[in-house]
Structures are given as C-alpha cells and as structure tokens.
A and B are shown apart, each in its own frame.
Chain A
Amino acid sequence: MKHDALVIGGSAGSFRAIIHLLEILAIDLSIPVFLCLHRLKQARKGFEETLANIASLPLMEPFDKEKIKPGIIYLAPANYHMLIENKRTIALSTEDPIQYSRPSIDICFASAAEIYKQRLLAILLSGANQDGTGGIAAVNRHGGYTLVQDPTDCEITTMCESAIKLTIPNQILTIPEIIEFVSLL
C-alpha cells in the first residue's frame, strides 16, 4: 500500500461519483478515508445514514477528538471544519467558513497533508466554488498524490477547473477512471 490515508472532497454535482466511490472501496482497505463534502448546515440527519447504507466500509461522522482507525470512512459533520490533528486523532472546528464553506475541503486536505505528507492520496470531485484548490496545492507541496476529476466529466466544473488552473494535479481523470484507480487500493 503506497498510501496511509485517502481524502475525498466534493460539492455540487459530486454525489453520483461519491456513491460509486463508496461502493467500490475494498472492504479490507487498511487506511482511513476522510470525506469532506459541502452540505446543508442545518440538515444534520439523513446524509450520514444515506452514505453509510451505500458504503462498503463503516462510515461515521466523527466527534471532536475521535480516534482515527483504518478501514473507517469519516464524513465531515455539517457546519464544522474537519482537521486531522495527528495520525491518531480528528479535530473539529467552528472557525469561519473558507470559500463560503464549512466544512472546508481546503482545511481538511491541508491538515491531512501536514500529517500524512507523501503517503496521502487526495481526490477532488465536482463542485461550484474554488474550495479544494488550496487543499490540492497543499497535498502536492507535501509530496502526496492528487487526482482531480476531469472538468468535462463534472456536472459542475468550477471546483476542478480551478484546481487544474492553479495547481498541477498528478492525474486528471473521469469518474470511471477514478473508480478504477480507487478499486485497486
């Protein structure tokens, strides 16, 4: 295994891809998965349950100071930023939104990049603002591996176009290609 953690970020138009990705993650995957999706701040119920029913691995919204375990998908809670405090612990924060977003993909990716460095795999999917670009840049800077969804394959192109314009992702892939990549983890 080349990676010690996987982070996935997405916003508007990413749900279809997320469903596929969660379905095909290997059930014996031995790394943690951090999922940061823009979502309605006041809809606290339903989203986690929906994704948990689809996912091949256990999925949960972490509490602050949740211990990180391999083979678990951690979904950033609504209206909180999710940070990776160290290899053992998740930290949450109510600081101001970044790019109008809380949870912020930038914060999640950048904090994970600080901890996992070149052992991090980051995937950025469809979305309607520029959140995620700073996160992809941070993962690149720390030597991690970055995949960005091909904008021609995105329902909404802004997020991936921004990341491609302002950073150099390792690969730009369509959803079927991302799924194939992830299925081999």
Chain B
Amino acid sequence: MFTVTDHETKNIIHTVSQNFGIDLSGMAMASLRLRISQFCRNHHLQSTRNIISRMLDDPLFFESFMLGISVGSPDMFRDPELWIRLRDQILPDMVRKVKTPRIFIPGCVSGDELYSMAILLKESGLDKQIQLTATCRNNPIRKQIEYGHLSKGRYRNCQDNYLVFHPGSTLDKYLTVRDGKRFRKPGLLKQVKIKVQAEDHLNISVPTNLILYRNRMIYFNRDTSRLVANRMLDQLPAGTIFIIGIKESVKHLGLTDRIDVVSSDLNIYLKTV
C-alpha cells in the first residue's frame, strides 16, 4: 500500500521543487505518499529513483506524474443534499440579491464539482445569469477536465448521487459514449471560464458571490491549508458564501472568527471579516 517511504517522498518533493519550481512541501504527507505509491504501481516503477530520473529526462512523464498525484473530487454531485440546498435555497436567494452573480471553483482536477455546478445551473435555467469560473493547476489538468472520461466505478457513483439530486432522471443525457467510454458533453462548459493558476497562490480577480472549495484542503498539511483558506478569504468581500467539504473543519482551519454559519451540517458559511 505505502511502498514509498517518507524519506523517498521528501526526495521527490525536493527534486520537483529544485527542477520544476513546484512546491509540494505543503501537501499532507500520508495521502501524498499513498498517491506516489499508487503511481509507482500503475507505471510499474520499482523505485522512486526511477521516478526522479524519468521526470528529469522526459517532460511528458513529469506532467503525467503531476496528474497522477493530483486528486480531484471523485464523484459528480457528491453529497447530494448539498447540491439540493444550492438548487433550492442558496442560488435562488443569490439571484434575488445580485443581478449577475459569480461562482468560483478553484483547484479543479477531475472537474466533477465544476460539471455538477454547470448541470445544476443549466437545469435551474441560471446558466446565462450566473458566471461560473474555475481554476486548475496546469494545462494537462485542464485537458483532463474538458476531455477526460468517466471510469465505470466513478460513473456508477456519479449516477447514484445524481439520482438523489434529481430523482427519476439520469446523468446519461449529459454524457456521450465513444469507444465504450463515457465522456461529459463538452458543451456543458461552454459558459465556463477555466483559468490555470497555482492552488496555493489563488488570485480571485473578479468579484465573487460564492466559492466552492470542497475536499481540497484535506490534501494540504495543517499550516498550508490554513494559509490557503485565509488567503482566499482575504480576497473575498464580506457576504461571500464559502463552502468547504463536509468533513473539513473551520476550527481546524482557523477560520471561526472570519465566518458566520449558514449550515454547519453541509459546511456552508458566509465570510464576515
């Protein structure tokens, strides 16, 4: 399971930082080790020396490594009760108060949250009124978001979630099948702006009314997650809705003095200061 040691992981972090200028030292160590171990298994690499030598030799391999150790929200409409609350209460309230609201989804990898929001907006007839912006770390990830396929297991999970969100319906209307693989219809992201940005140095340049940042800070260590969360809040005006993962804790992130609770169960907050 954990075939890569702490020491080997630190060597990789050092190599990536020295040669590619990307700082992975803020990642949570246990899950990073797990993903590097899985990457080694998937690519039949016997040791981390192989990873280091190949990433230095082959830029495409490095891109593949960075993609391999990136974790996205694995399922569309994960925690369907959150998406129901967004559809039935949060977004209708928002469009009553603001003429053209903006939603920001930083740090996308698989794009599941982004597609879920795009579908929600389309089904609610809000896709023209609400501007949806997302960020991802680099162009290969952007390509994965736009063109990546849904594996069978993920498709089943997404479909299960969507059935709770929209009983009696099916996600299939938003998918196309090519060579036996399921892809999200690219037209779903027609109204969406996707920017390439480092996740730990986000620049929220446009006024934002809602930020959806779920299950991303669990992949950072405590100090980095606090830094990222506070940097993000620093850029948001008071009144912005801030949503984090259901098992992320505003207390552990050191945010309790900066937010009001909208729903503690679903981890929906309002930025105050």
Answer yes or no: are A and B bound together in one complex.
yes
Task: Verify A64–B248 contact, CB threshold 8 A.
Answer: yes
- Take A65-B249, A84-B30, A96-B74 as given contacts and tell me if A42 and B80 are in contact as well, using a CB distance cutoff of 8 Å: yes
* Stretch in contact with the other chain, from A5-13, A19-27, A85-93: A85-93
B252's partner among A64, A83, A135 (CB-CB below 8 A) is: A64
Assess whether A138 is interfacial by the CB under 8 Å rule: yes
Quick one: which of B160, B164, B249 contacts A64, CB cutoff 8 A?
Answer: B249
Partner of A66, one of B1, B217, B219, B252: B252
Asked if B153 contacts A138 (CB within 8 A), the reply is: no
Q: How far is the CB of B199 from chain A (nearest CB, A)?
A: 15
Query: Does B35 make an interface contact (CB < 8 A)?
Result: yes
Q: Is the CB of B78 within 8 A of A111?
A: no
Complex CA distance for A64 and B1, rounded to whole angstroms: 21
Is the Cβ of B248 less than 8 Å from the Cβ of A135? no
Indicate if the CB atoms of B28 and A85 lie closer than 8 Å: yes
* Given A79-B78, A95-B71, A95-B74, residue A111 in contact with residue B247 (CB < 8 A): no
Counting chain A CB atoms within 10 Å of each CB, the highest count among B2, B217, B247, B249 belongs to: B247
A38 to B80, CA, bound (A): 20
Query: How many cross-chain pairs have Cβ atoms below 8 Å apart between A and B?
Result: 86
Distance between A136 CB and nearest chain B CB, rounded to angstroms: 11
Bound state CA distance, A83 and B215, in angstroms? 15
* Cβ contacts under 8 Å, B157 to chain A: 41
Q: Does A80 contact B (CB under 8 A)?
A: yes
- CB–CB B222/A106 < 8 A: no
Q: Are A97 and B1 in contact, CB atoms less than 8 angstroms apart?
A: no
Chain B residues with a Cβ under 8 A of chain A: 1-2, 28-31, 34-35, 71, 73-74, 78-80, 153-154, 157, 160-161, 164, 215, 217-219, 222, 225, 245-249, 251-252
14 sample A-B contacts, Cβ–Cβ < 8 Å, listed by A number: A42-B80, A44-B79, A63-B251, A64-B218, A64-B245, A79-B78, A93-B34, A93-B71, A93-B218, A95-B34, A95-B35, A107-B34, A114-B2, A134-B1
If A42-B160, A63-B248 are given as contacts, then 5 extra A-B residue pairs at C-beta distance below 8 Å, sorted by A number, are A42-B161, A63-B252, A65-B225, A91-B31, A114-B30
Which 6 residue pairs across A and B have the least CB separation, nearest first? Answer: A63-B249, A110-B1, A64-B218, A65-B252, A83-B30, A93-B31
